Amino acid sequence: MPYKYEFPHPSVTADIVIFAMHENDLKALLVQRKNPPHKGCWAIPGGFVEIDEDIETGARRELEEETGVKNVYLEQLYTFGAPKRDPRERVITVAYLSLVNLAEHPVQAGSDAVRAEWFSIRDLPKLAFDHQKILDLAIKRLESKALYAPIVFELLPKKFKLPQVQHVFEVILQRSLDKRNFRKKILSTGMLTEASGLDKSEQRRPAKLYRFDKAKFKKLNREGGGFEFRPDSPRKRKPRKLS
């Protein structure tokens, strides 16, 4: 016979902030809620963790059910537990951060969502619950972690040109980077390997293609090298639009 608690206790949800580069901009995936509370409002994908699953499994399940996205990079972001953050009951949520290459992860709304769409992080709709707070923290984590961990490569195709890498850094860090200095710094990390083939879409000389070499990164980590990128220009913040 299951044990019954004498006192009320909270439920647990998992919410996933998922970023991708789309149309040369950093965007977050949002779902339009099908059910109350906040019916019709935009929100971060997520939902209640089932009684027999761990939290990350619940996060992955909810992400796939609501958006069709699966098999992605996930890392735990933070735990949010304000007593009145959910009008239904006492709910604690564990938020996760995810980065994807859009071409490899098509999106479609699932059973719990009316729509699933990408929004620029600088032009977001009003979000349900405390999801703006969660998303703001995820943006700060991404800006910070881009300087000491090679997570930006999760946003790129498997083969890429150096200007593509530079653009991702510029969008995340909100600054312009000198092309020559950037090339020197990113190649000096020792974690990029020239990929076979060239980008023949270039009108002039075909550009070299590279790939992120996870084996090299792990070797550098074991040897105490790691990853570090320090931009050489001041930050240029763009105002965020909230509708």
Q: Confidence class of residue 93 from pLDDT cuts 50, 70 and 90?
A: very high
Q: Which pLDDT value is given to residue 144?
A: 95
Q: What is the pLDDT of residue 204?
A: 61
The vertex-31 CA angle with 27 and 36, nearest 5°, equals: 150
Tell me, what's the pLDDT at 236?
61
What's the Cα-to-Cα distance from 59 to each of 32, 96, 105, 108, rounded to whole Å?
Answer: 17, 8, 16, 17
pLDDT grade for 235, boundaries at 50, 70 and 90? low
Question: What is the rounded average pLDDT for all residues in the chain?
Answer: 89
Identify the pLDDT of residue 196.
75
pLDDT at 220: 79
pLDDT of residue 95: 98
Yes or no: say if 123 and 240 are a contact pair by the CB < 8 Å rule: yes
The pLDDT of residue 121 is 96
- Alpha carbon distance 120, 163 (integer Å): 21
Which pair of tokens denotes residue 121?
Answer: 């992080």
Residue 109 or residue 48, greater confidence: 48
Name the pairing type of β-strands 207-212 and 192-199.
Answer: antiparallel
Range name among 1-10, 50-59, 176-185 with the lowest pLDDT average: 1-10
**Residues above pLDDT 70, as percent of the chain:** 90
Q: Please give the pLDDT value at position 177.
A: 93
Question: What is the spatial distance between Cα 73 and Cα 153, in angstroms, rounded to a whole number?
Answer: 11
CB 135 within 8 A of CB 121: yes
The pLDDT of 105-112, averaged and rounded, is: 81
Q: What is the pLDDT of residue 229?
A: 80
Q: Over range 70-82, report the average pLDDT.
A: 95
- Give pLDDT, residue 201: 57
Mean pLDDT of all residues in 96-113: 87
Q: What is the pLDDT of residue 168?
A: 96
* Prediction pTM value: 0.88
- Give the span between the Cα atoms of 166 and 225, in whole angstroms: 22
Mean pLDDT of 174-201: 85
pLDDT at 233: 62
Q: What angle do CA 73, 76, 78 make, to 5 degrees?
A: 145
Percent of the chain clearing pLDDT 90 (strictly above):
70
Strand partners, 69: none
Over residues 210-235, mean pLDDT:
80
- Number of neighbouring beta carbons within 10 Å of residue 197: 10
Q: What pLDDT is attached to residue 96? A: 98
pLDDT tens, position by position, 145-160: 999 999 999 999 999 9
